[in-house]
Amino acid sequence: MKSKLNLPADRVAYARALAERITAPVQDFIDGHSSVTVERATLRLAGADGANPDGVPVPNLVVDQIRASDPAALEDGATIRYVNALLKSGGTVQALNDRIAAGWDVMSVPLGDRKAIEAKAEELVAGTLKRVKDNRGFREDKLEQWKGKNNSPLLYLIVATGNIYEDVKQAAAAAEQGADVIAVIRTTAQSLLDYVPFGATTEGFGGTYATQENFRIMRAALDEVAEKQGRYIRLTNYASGLCMPEIAAMGAVERLDMMLNDSMYGILFRDINMYRTFVDQKFSRMINAYAGVIINTGEDNYLTTSDAYEKAYTVLASQFLNERFAFDAGLEARFQGLGHAFEMDPTIKNGFMYELAEAQMAREIFPEHPLKYMPPTKFMSGDIFKGVAMNTLFNFVSKATNQGIHLLGMLTEAIHTPFMMDRFLAVDNARYVMNYIDGFYDDIEFKQDGIVVTRAHQVLREAIEFMEHVEKTGMFDSIEKGLFAEVKRPKDGGKGFEGLVKKGPAYYNPFESGLKRELGLKR
């Protein structure tokens, strides 16, 4: 990629080196820990499924049984006990799940031969990894078959009625109207539930529950639309919150294509314990990496609590950090949808130039990444005509800087949940603008001492200064002091801290070791 901003390559490389040094101590902590949801995700990948009459999922029942029997027993991992119970019962995985759901305790039987347990676990690992690999192959074959049929950038639309069957209707309509990515937003506060509901759901509030059955239903519906239209429709959900790895596991099994997957979002904006969520993020990203799922990170959220002009450098710094965390989990650059947003106060003089500068800067610093660009929301006032104007400028910047994933802005933002017609108008506006300026990116150059170039250099410089401060302070202490998004979170506080698990000397997780082997990870 030819640079239009002439950003100093040595400073960009230095920023990446800073990110590696900042994240290294966090990686050391991650390596020595698991969590209840990492263990539940592993059980799901081994086949644990279903729920008891009270709706408690089988993976939760198993983990709770282990902890109730001996709080230290989970330090060996949950899979060893589940597979031991499978061997002792002599039945199928489904039969075991039914027994556990009916009240049988996996800790009621003594541990058998360790080698036999591990051999059976490896067999389960191989079966699940094959299913996930086949899903990835199917996606890649369809993308090749329908190459060039999607919009560029990909047009991303959200649906969320609370009822999965109504979501299917709205998602199909959005895809038929031109959307390339359908995101089913989760029901309000699901990120704070330390379990994943079971089965199809029809009563979400402000969104629809993320469940494996809901994933299956929506995947089938979008595949049907894709075959009719001759273009692949991507499905997105949210692998974040207290069940981050479990949702990633379900998504891999049901062939989701993108996942919102960023621990900083949970720490800062959902008050989830930082230690717990960094551990959860690593395992969830390993799953996504193997499944070929594009992750979307949440840097845009920083600009909801911080000023988008003054604190733009925090977005860039977080992108560098998220990139490093993703690489350490085996995610290639082409699967990293690093986030940013068009969120400056519209009254700022030359604000458009600053937005253009930051979008182009992100494109040049992360050339292989399918950057996810978020629309204006913070300053949407309910004036739909001004909203259309703001979204039009956003659409222009996105195409003019060659973004990868474009979340469509709604003219009715801040008024109500979008109607299908609102979504149609959003798609129509974006396609009009992007077609009309199709060659703009390749044709435009910037004045080297002008507003755009000067702003990009300024943000890079400020991001490096900020990261130098974070390195001296330490990542955990920096979060505690409120250096990110001006939100302070205590290290030993927040939701889910009690679910952190220190790995014991006999810790066993066949999916973790299997994924590391498949992804070529050294740690």
What are the residue numbers of the active site?
A: 265, 300, 372
3-state SS, residue 289: helix
Rounded Cα gap, residues 38 and 280, in angstroms? 6
Which residues, 6 or more positions from 161, have their beta carbon under 8 angstroms from its beta carbon? 167, 170, 204, 208
Q: Write the CA distances from 128 to 102, 124, 249, integer angstroms.
A: 25, 6, 10
Beta-strand relationship, 336-337 and 294-296: parallel
Q: How far apart are CA 395 and CA 155, in angstroms?
A: 10
Q: Residue 109, exposed/middle/buried by CB under 10 A (0-12, 13-18, 19+)?
A: middle
Of the candidates 76, 104, 78, the one whose C-alpha atom is nearest the C-alpha of residue 91 is 104
Q: Which phi and psi angles does 482 have, rounded to 5°?
A: 80, 30
Q: Are strands 234-238 and 500-502 parallel, antiparallel or unpaired?
A: unpaired
Phi, psi of 158 (to 5 degrees): -100, 135
- The answer to whether the beta carbons of residues 78 and 43 sit under 8 Å apart is yes
DSSP 272: B
336: phi then psi, degrees, rounded to nearest 5: -110, 100
User: For residue 153, is the peptide bond before it cis, meaning its omega torsion is within 30 degrees of 0?
Assistant: yes
* Residue 405 host element (H or E): strand 405-407
Look-up of token digits 């979204």: 391
Please state the length of the chain.
523
Q: Which residues contact 499 (CB under 8 A, 6 or more apart)?
A: 35, 36, 37, 194, 242, 276
DSSP 219-257: HHHHHHHHHHHTS--EEEEE--GGGHHHHHHHHHHTT--
Q: Which amino acid is at 293?
A: V
| Residues 468-477: contacts with CB under 8 Å, at least 24 apart | 468/18, 470/18, 470/22, 470/317, 471/18, 471/21, 471/22, 474/25, 475/22, 475/23, 475/25, 475/26, 475/321, 476/25, 476/26, 476/274, 476/275
Contact 403, 356 (CB under 8 A): no
